Amino acid sequence: MNSGRSVFAQLLDHVPMHEFRKCVARYAGNHRVRSFSCWDHFLCLTFAQLTYRESLRDIVACLRAGDRRLYHMGIRGTVSRSTLADANESRDWRIYAEFAQVLIQEARCLYADDPFGLELAHSVYAFDSTTIDLCMSLFPWAHHTRRQHAIKLHTLLDLRGNIPTFLRITPARVHDVNVLDDLVLEAGAFYILDRGYVDFGRLYRFTEQQAFFVTRAKKNLRRQRLVSHPVDKTTGVLCDQRISLVCFYPSHAYPVPLRRIRYRDPTTDKRLVFLTNNFALPPVVIAKLYRCRWQVELFFKWIKQHLRIKAFYGTSENAVKTQIWVAVCAYLLVAIARKRLGLDLNLYTILQVLSLSLFEKMPINEVLSTARTQEPGIDDGKQLTLWHF
């Protein structure tokens, strides 16, 4: 029964509080804190994410408008702009990063059986990065080039449910391929990579740990054909070869054979060349797997449009990382609630409704019931959508 609890408080029922306290204690987040705890800080930033607040002043004004309801929303401390600014500067961002890992594990369990377009029993991940531009004068620590300051968000996306399982925030000058060293590979899983990640020494680690990769070959790839397998060209597959690398450094970095597949996309007539270390799947399935990589691009587009990770509430590195990790936590929290409540709405619609009803004292299912029958359709049949069922 609701018992007059706000929608925001009902949403927080899906937060594992004991795990959050463990993360806070691990980094002494509440050490010498008198009134504004890490939990208060997390709730204020989560509120800002769900209601699309643009600045600290904006957050404080909206929260003070419902001042009498803050206690029942879980916020015990006094909210002020200076308090929030100090918390963004001083609270260790790793508290929220580790708590996001807890939510990731819960979300992955809930979405483990969701389809992603291919009937595969293996886990399938897409890995890529996106650049977030920053002001040069306000963020001098995020140096990229002489005329640009930026950071990169590297993300490994589980295609079953579009759950980000690995995130790394680095300066934009860090090349994408270096982050492959930080991945903990899962045996038997497929990792879909853009050709910017073609580094044969790093790709050989996938083979050593019995994981599979699918990527595109660079145009200057020099190889020797070992075996050509017969293909059905009506499926778009032009050739399916087993190859070995012939140049000195690549052949020493990757000393075992690779599989090379040439494919013609029937819709765009574009010819693509794929490299993989999996020799069992049909070549057309490999091509369809690579097409699924587009989901990580949609994920980046979605979070930039619907979460606050482009305009920041603080200028320090700690403040930027804190805001990004809390945004990820908010995304995961709504995804977990969506699954546990059995909602058939897409995530965009849920966020739009929540942004206007967090202070309402109604059952959350009742708040979302009207949106269920009025969910907007999709105008462009060619536009891929994230979380659309």
Evaluate if residue 150 carries a pLDDT over 90.
yes
Maximum alpha-carbon separation in the chain: 74
Fold entry, domain 195-292:
Ribosomal Protein S8; Chain: A, domain 1 (3.30.1370)
Contact 314, 85 (CB under 8 A): yes
Q: Cα separation of 46 and 309, whole Å? A: 12
Confidence of residue 389 (pLDDT cuts 50, 70, 90): very low
Q: Cα separation of 121 and 74, whole Å? A: 41
More confident residue, 66 or 61: 61
**Model confidence pLDDT, tens digit, residues 17-37:** 999 999 999 999 999 888 889
Q: Cα separation of 322 and 363, whole Å? A: 30
* Amino acid identity for residue 319 in this structure: A
Evaluate if residue 384 carries a pLDDT over 60.
no
Range from 51-65, 180-194, 272-286, 321-335 carrying the lowest mean pLDDT: 51-65
* Rg from Cα positions in the chain: 23
CA 90 to chain centre: 25
Q: What are the tokens at 36?
A: 């504004």
* Amino acid identity for residue 279 in this structure: F
Mean pLDDT of 102-130: 90
Mean pLDDT of 115-119: 81
Evaluate if residue 387 carries a pLDDT over 60.
no
DSSP bridge partners of 134: 149
Per-position DSSP letters for 62-75, written without gaps between them = HHHHTGGGHHHHT-
Mean pLDDT of 356-368: 85
Indicate the angle between helix axes 81-90 and 56-65, nearest 10 degrees: 130
Q: What is the residue extent of each domain of the chain?
A: 7-96+315-373, 195-292
Q: What are the tokens at 131?
A: 């650049």
Q: What are the tokens at 254?
A: 């990757």
Q: Cα separation of 279 and 276, whole Å? A: 8
Q: What are the tokens at 385?
A: 């959508």
Evaluate if residue 361 carries a pLDDT over 50.
yes
Mean pLDDT of 158-165: 92
What are the helix (H) ranges across 111-260?
200-208, 248-253
The H-or-E segment that residue 75 falls in is none
pTM exceeding the 0.85 threshold for the entire prediction: yes
DSSP bridge partners of 274: 216, 261
Mean pLDDT of 368-374: 63
Mean pLDDT computed over every residue of the chain: 89
Q: Cα separation of 299 and 302, whole Å? A: 5
More confident residue, 227 or 32: 227
Mean pLDDT of 369-381: 53
pLDDT at 271: 93
pLDDT at 147: 83
For residue 168, the SS3 value is strand
The β-bridge relationship of strands 163-171 and 190-193 is unpaired
CA 152 to chain centre: 12
Confidence of residue 356 (pLDDT cuts 50, 70, 90): confident
Q: Where are the beta strands (DSSP E) in the chain?
A: 124-134, 143-145, 148-158, 163-171, 190-193, 212-216, 223-229, 237-245, 258-264, 271-276
CA 138 to chain centre: 26
